[in-house]
Amino acid sequence: MQFIKPDININFIGKTKITLFISLAMILISFASLLIHKGPRYGIDFAGGTLIQVKFLAPASIDDIKSGLSTIDLRRSSVQQFGDLKENEYLIRTDKSDMTTQGFSIKIKEALESATGNDVEIRRVEMVGPQVGKDLREKALFAMFYALLFITIYISGRFELKWMTSGVMAGALMGAVYFLSIFKVSIPFLMAAALIVTIFLFWLLELKYAMGAIVALIHDIIITVGLFSILDKEFTLPIIAALLTIIGYSLNDTIIVFDRIRENLKRYHRNPLEFIINRSVNETLSRTILTSVTTLSVVLALFALGGGIIHDFAFAMIVGVLIGTYSSIYVASPILLAWQGRGRKK
């Protein structure tokens, strides 16, 4: 059964101005939301504090739960329904991380039973200190930055045979970032500055394939994080795992398109680059759609049936698969056209 005809010819490149506007709009909205909310809403993993999951045998009101918590000096806690409404489960979050002594669970159980008149089961209690949360935030940023740098070495070596150039550049950037981090420079600011310098060096050293791939990956990460900020979803360690998975998925899509562009550059060398890129995207469209649909079917099943624990991870993956497929076609490939314009100016 053929989903896509082999002779299909959709003019993807002809819509780059529209898609550029859409991408810029999504990125600006993401940045605006992050500025308004002063960054993502960090979960216990990154912000520090205590997370308590409780289950009631009968429905209980959030006001009664908060009233019970106030009796044990947890007035500033946030309470939200967790999972299926019929399960009567709630997540309690507090910024205090020094109260989880041996009798802490018993105190919570007694306070909630007294306030709600229901039997309560303490399902889990997780505590992360503020310093540990800060260290985890920094390590997560380093993990994504180093992943992007190693990807640039691979892309530059595979498509442009510039292993040495990209390797020296990546090594210098990693050394500079590590050196500056020793002097307590703000890690988020350092990562943002390093990425800007990286893109500038790609342009200077003419690593066009690497630049196309990295810009597409940064595009995907910013929009995914921005959507979490807009929807006020928690940013936790599983979301970092989802972002790293999205980087791998989006890169795979981009490499497939780049491979076909490289082949068609030899086959249709007398045709304009717009024609070659458009033909390459159309020739890989069937594979791209089938890969995206099969991956989406899995993450949609996780989202619908995986339960509350994995819900946000699956949501991040759904967004990442959709944005990653879009960026492989409308962000990574058109950057090669920018190089053609640069060559004409020269």
pLDDT of residue 32: 92
| pLDDT tens-place string over residues 162-220 | 888 888 888 888 888 777 777 776 777 777 888 888 888 888 888 888 888 888 989 99
pLDDT of residue 315: 92
- Give residue 333's pLDDT band: very low, low, confident or very high (50, 70, 90): confident
* Domain-wise residue ranges, the chain: 13-43+132-144+216-345, 49-128
Mean pLDDT of 120-140: 76
- Give residue 99's pLDDT band: very low, low, confident or very high (50, 70, 90): low
Contacts of 28 (CB under 8 A, 6+ apart): none
Q: Please determine, for residue 343, whether its predicted confidence score (pLDDT) is greater than 70.
A: no
Strand partners, 258: none
Highest mean pLDDT among 16-30, 55-69, 204-218: 16-30
- Give residue 24's pLDDT band: very low, low, confident or very high (50, 70, 90): very high
Q: Please determine, for residue 101, whether its predicted confidence score (pLDDT) is greater than 80.
A: no
Domain 13-43+132-144+216-345, what fold?
Multidrug efflux transporter AcrB transmembrane fold (1.20.1640)
For a pLDDT cut of 70, what percent of the chain falls above it? 91
Q: Please determine, for residue 132, whether its predicted confidence score (pLDDT) is greater than 70.
A: no
Q: Please determine, for residue 310, whether its predicted confidence score (pLDDT) is greater than 80.
A: yes
State whether residue 83 is helix, strand or coil.
Answer: coil
- Give the CATH class of 49-128: alpha beta
Supply 203's token pair: 């342009």
C-alpha dihedral sign at 167, 169, 172, 178:
negative
Q: How far apart are CA 216 and CA 244, in angstroms?
A: 14
| DSSP strand pairing (89-94 vs 234-235) | unpaired
When the pLDDT of each residue in the chain is averaged and rounded to a whole number, the result is 82
The 8-class DSSP code of residue 13 comes to G
Q: How far apart are CA 246 and CA 46, in angstroms?
A: 20
In this predicted model, which residue has the larger pLDDT, 3 or 14?
14
Of 71, 98, 89, give the one whose Cα is nearest residue 79: 89
Mean pLDDT of 249-266: 87
Contacts of 83 (CB under 8 A, 6+ apart): 89, 307, 308
pTM of the model: 0.81
C-alpha dihedral sign at 228, 231, 234, 239:
negative
pLDDT of residue 30: 92
- Give residue 47's pLDDT band: very low, low, confident or very high (50, 70, 90): confident
Q: Please determine, for residue 282, whether its predicted confidence score (pLDDT) is greater than 80.
A: yes
pLDDT of residue 130: 63
pLDDT of residue 316: 92
Mean pLDDT of 303-315: 82
Q: Please determine, for residue 117, whether its predicted confidence score (pLDDT) is greater than 70.
A: yes
In this predicted model, which residue has the larger pLDDT, 297 or 38?
297
pLDDT of residue 127: 76
